[in-house]
Amino acid sequence: MAVPLRIAIADDHALVRQALALLLEREGMKVVGQAERADDVRALVSRARCDILLLDLCMDRNTLVDVAALAKKVKVIVLTGSEQRPDAMAAMRAGASAFVSKRAATALLLEAIRAVEAGGTWLPPELRHRPETGPHSTQPMLTPRECEIIRLVAQGLRSAEVAQRLFISEATVKTHLNNVFAKLGLRDRTELTLYAVRCGIVTIDAQPVN
């Protein structure tokens, strides 16, 4: 018999927590703990030994500052009333595995949970392939090798693993990555992954490479 996925919920609205718990239990998951105050979330994660934390960004304070520390212990799915790309970028850069609007249909939340459970990341459909706008909207020319490396990095491989997969040195991978970051004006692998999703280099539900 499969072990149910263990979920913890952190939200300062009791009705939201109760509704989420009913939904998740109905889907065969186990809600192992809840928190209504931001200061209680870290203790909840340690106590509940959960697989995934559903974290409201706007509790009695903004919990974005907690995401980096929490993401070292548990996979974090951010729940928020925001649907803005900068907020999604900030959450994902901090270490969240998914960004889900509270306005989204329950099917999308379940989709996000399954993607994160499988080791992937998840963004709302409207943010996945959103075209860039502004003075840097022209897409730079990427070489086939750079696209290949982006695809593997976006699927979670480290530089050494990419090197092994492509039969090149790790130093060469890092050189390609530095060139990609410079071409695209990106700062880190999280932004690179989001770029890869928006541009169709990798799909959001892609499974990690074995």
- pLDDT tens track for 22-66: 999 999 999 999 999 999 999 999 999 999 999 998 888 888 889
112 phi and psi angles, rounded to 5 deg: -65, -45
Domains identified in the chain and CATH numbers? 6-128 (3.40.50.2300), 129-210 (1.10.10.10)
Which residues lie below 8 Å from residue 114, measured CB to CB, with a gap of 6+? none
Dihedral of the alpha carbons of 86, 106, 113, 187, in degrees to the nearest 10: -10
What band does 210 get if pLDDT is binned at 50, 70 and 90?
very low
pLDDT in tens, 114-152: 988 888 788 887 776 444 434 333 455 778 888 899 989
**Which pLDDT score is estimated for 203?**
62
Mean pLDDT is lowest, of 1-10, 29-38, 135-144, 175-184, for: 135-144
Confidence band for 94, pLDDT divided at 50, 70 and 90: confident
Q: Across all residues in the chain, what is the average pLDDT?
A: 84
DSSP 58: B
- 198: pLDDT strictly greater than 80: no
Q: Which of 196, 129, 113 is nearest to 156 (CA)?
A: 196
In this prediction, residue 137 carries a pLDDT of 39
Residue 1 is predicted with a pLDDT of 62
Tokens of 78: 């951010």
Quote the pLDDT of residue 135: 37
In the chain, the amino acid numbered 86 is P
DSSP 9: E
